[in-house]
Structure 1
Amino acid sequence: MNACPAVAPTATISRFALALALALLVGACAAPAPTPRDRTETDDPAELVRAGRPADAAEAWLALAEREPERAASARLRAAEAWLSAGRPMQANAAVEAIDPGALERVDRLRLDLLLAELALNRGEFDRAERLLAMPADTLPPALRDRLAGLRERLSASDPDSPKARLDALRDAVDEPGFEPTLALALLIDVRLADLDALVAEHGSEPAIGHWLALGRAVRANLLDRPGLEQAVEAWRSTRLEETGRHGGDAPAADRVDARADDRVDNRFDDGSDGGTGVMDDPRAEALPSTATIVEWVDAWRSRQPMPERVAVLLPGDGPLVAAGDAVRDGMLAAWLMLPPARRPVLDFVYLESAPDAAVGGWFAARENGADLVVGPLDRRQIPSLLALPDAGVPMLLLNRPPPDVAWPRPAQPLAMLALPPEEEAELVAVRALVDGASRALVIAQDSDFGERLAGRFIETFELGGGRVVHRVDYPPREFDVTDRLEDALRLRASEQRIERIEALVDAPFAAEPQRRTDLDVVFLAAREEARQVHPQLRFVDLGELPVLATSAVLTDRRDRDLDGIRMPLAPWLFTNGAQAEERRSAEQAFPEVAGSVTLSLLHALGRDAVALLPWLDSMKRDPQLALSGGIGRLRLADGVALERDLPWAVVRDGVPQRP
């Protein structure tokens, strides 16, 4: 026990010294202060995050990854997020590099892309961040949408090349005496269409720049569709001439009145004498460039976009897909020959064995050979092994979709898919039926995997849109007489039996015709070439007045009037008129097999479109609304992965499909 000696002050001790001595004495005699209890330790990373200790949480997540290998990818992702939250991006990058994206669930793969975008923003890699943030918001769960919006706002504020920065540059440019309309195009042509829509909505009424924003939007929307571009630019010019009250011809650029500072006009709206457009007449009456001038400028801009220097094409070397692969190859070569010599990449055709993992070896060989892009394979079974490859490496344009049980790739992965899945057309058919007001459908399907894929997608889409499939008739692939099945489905036999019972009761013939069910308003035919036998039977059972919809799989290389009246979505390549039809006829002369098979003809067109896509895949990743008008349809990367095909509609007349 500590003893405290008594101290008596003397006269010789000053008052200050006395106070100091007493303070020291009291401090020495006081009981030792209690040691504060340490805060409760936990190894639960979620609790550490809630406690505001992200660095400790990151360490805990990494420890969890070591203890539970099956959760390693998800744990490392959360560790990287925690490191970033703690302001330690180097550790976050290290954690990301150890992640196996293929082991992540879909939501976590999207979280990884958002994390990579944030890291790219921190490094000032704005192009990479923009590509990663180009994912459609509606593909994200609600919990991640706010994060996506926040990162996009941060990108817009940080990127010196953002849409806002370009808008400011446009404002500055139009005030300069030497302003040229092509400068507006140069500033706006590669802005995402969604961003241009936002700029037009917010600033389209500004007299100085509104019409240039409208031009930029019109060009971007038709950037890869030359006929559409010409129409859009001409429509823009007509609108602008009406707004300014100028209805004469094009004036040369030299006749433009300089917009000097001392004669600038106020940004006032007129009194509506312009016909109610609400746009101010511009006293400068600047000369508008002609449609041809704008289109030629856009053509030149497109020709300067980088093309891969070397492309490896993985095609079947044996098995049943050899003919399909040859059609794709011939289509690619035909499109390659149409390119200017300076823009032709080296094409390395690699022929694969039919083993499911054969494409992986082809991909690595392409990388070693210096390929900038890999196109293929065509065999669906070879897709999963390629999707399992790490992200880093050579980008890919796959020519098929993975099987249904394989995880869908992330939009940020350097790959896209170009394919001709028949169920995609069945989905378009269902949408068209709903738009046309149909609500009760009869489905007639080939009893096969092909028929099931078509019928299943049609039924799923039709019912999702509020329609109802009243009955489904399945028939064996090689049995073309489906009359009995149709009569059962339409209750014609039941009607006949009622008539027979009445005749038996009255013991006399009864004048009546069997009546079919009347609760149908559309027929979907999930068939192949046998449709030419099945379709006439619909008239026999009194279904001739109902619209009959199908896919292009019913077409053959022959004129077939038994198909007259069937409506379908159709690739532009297969119409009898238009630019694509002219190219098809030329291809049929050069490649006879194209003329002998609708399927091979479409694969030839797919090969052509694959070449047309080469310089645009990265841009289409960044802008999901950017569309290329191709032979197999209007193509866009709506989900950042699979190129969707928007198809025009056709009706068979006189045995050939024609535009309605």
Structure 2
Amino acid sequence: MSSERRFRPAVVLTVVLALLAGACSTLPVGRPADAGLADRAEQLYRDGQLDESANLFLNLASQSRADAAAHYRLRAAEVLRDAGRLDAAAQAIADIRRRRLQGDEPQRLDLLDAEIALGRGDATHALDLLDRAEGEALAPALRLRQLELRARAQATAGDRFAAARTRAAIDPQLAGADRDHNRSEIVETLLALEPAALIARAETLQADDPLLPWIEQALRRKGSMLPRQLPQANRPVGTLTPDDSGQLQAEGYRPLRQVALLLPLSGPLAGVAQSIRDGFFTAYFADASEQRPTVRVYDAGDTPAAAVAAYQKAVADGADHVVGPLQRESVGELFRQPLPARVLALNHPDSGEVPPPGNAEFGLLPDAEGAQAAQRMLDRGIASAAVIAAKTDWAERAALAFRTQFEAGGGRIAGEARLLDNEVNYRNAITQATASLGADGGIFISMRPQQARLLVPQLAIASISAPVFGTSHIYAGDPNSGFDRDLNQVEFCDAPWLSTPVPGRPDRGNISNQIASANGVGARLFAFGMDAYALLPYLGWMLQHSDQYIDGATGQLTADSFGRIHRRLGWMRFENGIARPAQGVLSPVPAAPALQ
């Protein structure tokens, strides 16, 4: 009876099997009369009739001698393995003498034997066989299969870090379903480990180790995270250097030809997209006219499929750089597609994966704000902290990042409390968070302005004079001394453009009078759009030079080796109800030539 071709989730990479099948269809030695039957067996295999294919190969083996018989038995075993019949595959190769095999067949035999050993739970024997293949020259498809089997053997042997590392190493070479399966296996392998073990191992890795993003993803799934590597902005991009002809050129600058901006033009995120788009085009028109690329706006819709279709349309229209999409789900889906045009995504994917090589992601993350608030307090000599945050997703993320960074730096969390939207009396929350706060303590808050304006006066009523540090969420974005006077002396991190001129960017005071979206909560998104445009001509350079930065409207911008854009934020303090640059705010640097 025919059997359909089956690939179980645990079976080795499907693309590798397809490559091997194509490579194995020619019999190196044998009678010419066998050629037609061998071709028929291979065709049955391609048609998914695996049982018929395996039986025909076995019949050919029984009618052949020496090398030809070994070849046919190996092919029969490989087909049986594809059908999920490892015991039958083991029986088929039992009588093969390795010296009878030719070309890559000895290595294929070892890999098949290793998989059979894994099926029987014998990781030690499997690793021995894989070690033998390690020392031999393997075709790329066989090498991928060998590494995937090694990862499975390492996991079976209990070495989950080694298994995850092996899979992380092969991930860039995969695509489609194979890549998705491999990534799922990486995370599931790491999820079996405790957060403390994951954090301890991460601390031993280099900052560009390919396993780090996967450890981060596993920790997020467990409600934990790693301390952040805070941006090290040492040198601005665009330094003028002479080229071969002696002409001065901006280092790292690459002219743009055609840019596509992918944003939702309707739906719940249309207002957010409007502020980003206005900021993007404000920076575009401030650019020198001879340097400006063609820019086209595409509707990314409100689904991942719509965003992918918009990207494909932009590429078909000739775009060489694509900015967007905005929704996290859409970013994740786009990152799983072939990307012929470089992408600067305007969010981080919901899956937590890093961008494909050569591409980047950029977002206004509460995690970054929480971590930098922790570092600022540590730098001030504050050794204990009370955490008070709103009960929202973004506030929880900021609080978790703060706690992780503060404790990693030697600080102590004295207590935590959460504020509900309908509360106005915060006495219990204040007591819960600050009861064990020491004399050297400080308070970290992450909440909207309305809650902050209620909380800070109640801290004073409770006779708590510890300094207060917050995220950008406590500031509505526009001066309002009447309401914000209650926040006097509170420091918070935010986009520098909101409070001070940024070289190479239009002055906010002038822009806010002309463009409504540059005001209020939209101001940060407007600055975000300006920075997205500013990043484009330097993006490729920055991905290779993590110590170089752009002095952006949202902060000093750097890129890590994984394609993630990081912001070093500015600091502001409320004085007489007005947010002003605080001591230690980012100092200006010369403007990048592309935006002068």
Q: RMSD between aligned alpha carbons?
A: 4.3
**Could you say if the C-alpha distance between residues 636 and 62 of structure 1 is closer, same or farther in structure 2, counting changes exceeding 3 Å?**
farther
SS of the residue 2:268 aligns to: coil
What letter is aligned with 2:359?
L
Q: How does 1:203-282 map to 2 (within 5 A)?
A: 221-224=234-237
**Aligned counterpart for 1:526 among listed residues 431, 439, 446:** 446
Indicate how the Cα distance of structure 1 residues 307 and 577 shifts in structure 2: closer, same or farther if over 3 A, else same.
Answer: closer
| 3-state SS of paired residue (2:250) | helix
Alpha-carbon shift at residue 398 of structure 1 (Å): 0.5
- AA in 2 matched with 1:301: Q
| 2:554 corresponds to | 632
One-letter amino acid of the structure 2 residue matched with residue 467 of structure 1: G
Counterpart among 391, 395, 416 of residue 342 in structure 2: 395
Post-superposition CA distance 1:113-137 (Å, at most 9, x none) = 8989xxxxxxxxxxxxxxxxxxx94
SS at match of 1:301: strand
Query: Paired residue for 2:470, among 543, 550, 553?
Result: 550
Amino acid of the residue matched to residue 281 of structure 2? L
Aligned residues: 410
Mapped partners of 2:136, 2:173: distance in 1: 14
Aligned residue in 2 for 1:92: 140
The separation in 2 between residues aligned to 1:381 and 1:142, in whole angstroms, is 23
1:394-413 equivalence runs, <5 A: 394-403=341-350, 406-409=351-354, 413=357
Letter of the 1:587 counterpart: I
Instruction: Specify whether residues 618 and 84 from structure 1 end up closer, same or farther in structure 2 by C-alpha distance, changes over 3 A only.
Output: farther
SS at match of 1:138: coil
- Cα deviation, 1:417-459, whole Å, max 9, x if unaligned, reads 1110122111100112122222211111112223212212111
- Measured at CA, do residues 307 and 58 of structure 1 come closer, stay the same or move farther in structure 2, by a change above 3 Å? farther
Task: Tell me how far apart the structure 1 counterparts of residues 246 and 133 of structure 2 sit (CA, whole Å).
Answer: 45
Distance 1:225 1:526 in 2: 36
In the superposition, relative to structure 1, how do residues 519 and 478 fare at CA in structure 2: closer, same or farther (>3 Å)?
same
Amino acid paired to 2:462: V
Structure 2: distance between partners of 1:653 and 1:94: 66
Query: SS of 2:415's equivalent?
Result: strand
Alignment of structure 1 residues 153-552 onto 2, 5 Å: 221-224=234-237, 300-302=248-250, 305-390=253-338, 392-403=339-350, 406-409=351-354, 413-487=357-431, 489-490=433-434, 518=438, 521-530=441-450, 531-544=452-465, 546-552=466-472
Give the direction of change, closer, same or farther, for the CA distance of 1:81–1:321 in structure 2 (3 Å limit).
farther
Amino acid at match of 2:536: L
Are the equivalent residues in 2 in contact too, given 1:522–1:547 (CA < 8 A)?
Answer: yes
> What is the identity, as a one-letter code, of the residue corresponding to 1:449?
D
1:290 counterpart residue number: none
Instruction: Say if 1:54 and 1:86, in contact at 8 Å, map to a contact too.
Output: no
Give distance in 2, aligned partners of 1:304 and 1:624: 12
Distance 1:325 1:308 in 2: 22
Give the unaligned 5+ runs of structure 2. Answer: 1-69, 75-89, 120-128, 153-162, 175-204, 213-232, 584-596
The unaligned stretches of length 5 or more in structure 1 are 1-37, 70-78, 117-135, 144-219, 230-292, 492-515
CA–CA distance in structure 2, aligned partners of residues 64 and 335 of structure 1: 58
Shift of 1:58: 5.9
- Match of residue 537 from structure 2: 615
Query: Alpha-carbon deviation of 1:64?
Result: 7.8
Evaluate the alpha carbon distance shift between residue 437 and residue 413 of structure 1 in structure 2; reply closer, same or farther with a 3 A threshold.
same
Residues 144-177 of structure 1 show CA distances to partners (whole Å, capped at 9, x for unaligned) of: xxxxxxxxxxxxxxxxxxxxxxxxxxxxxxxxxx
State how far apart, in whole Å, the 1-side matches of 2:509 and 2:329 are.
33
Answer yes or no: is the 8 Å Cα contact 2:354–2:564 preserved in 1: no
Deviations 1:517-549 (A, max 9, x none): 6566110011111212211211111112x1101
Q: Deviations over 1:193-248 (max 9, x none)?
A: xxxxxxxxxxxxxxxxxxxxxxxxxxx9534277xx9xxxxxxxxxxxxxxxxxxx
Q: CA deviation at 1:313?
A: 1.1
Conservation of the 8 A alpha-carbon contact between 1:593 and 1:600? yes
Residue 354 of structure 1 aligns to a residue whose secondary structure is coil
| Bigger-Rg structure (1/2) | 1
| TM-score (normalised: structure 1) | 0.54
**How has the CA–CA distance of structure 1 residues 623 and 518 changed in structure 2, closer, same or farther, with 3 Å as cutoff?**
closer
1:64-75 equivalences under 5 Å are none
Amino acid across the alignment from 2:336: A
Alpha-carbon distance, 1:397 to partner:
0.5
Q: Secondary structure at the match of 2:325?
A: coil
The 1:67/1:81 distance shift into structure 2, 3 A limit, reads closer
Identity among equivalent pairs (%): 26
Q: Report the equivalent of 1:648.
A: 570
CA distance in 2, matches of 1:566, 1:299: 49
Distance 2:368 2:273 in 1: 21
Q: Is the contact made by 2:259 and 2:296 (CA closer than 8 Å) also made in structure 1? A: yes
Are residues 1:657 and 2:590 paired? no
Q: Secondary structure at the match of 2:542?
A: helix
| Corresponding residue of 1:140 | 209
* Paired residue type of 1:408: E
Distance in 1, matches of 2:167 and 2:322, equals: 23
TM-score (normalizing by structure 2): 0.60
Q: Distance in 2 between matches of 1:81 and 1:339?
A: 57
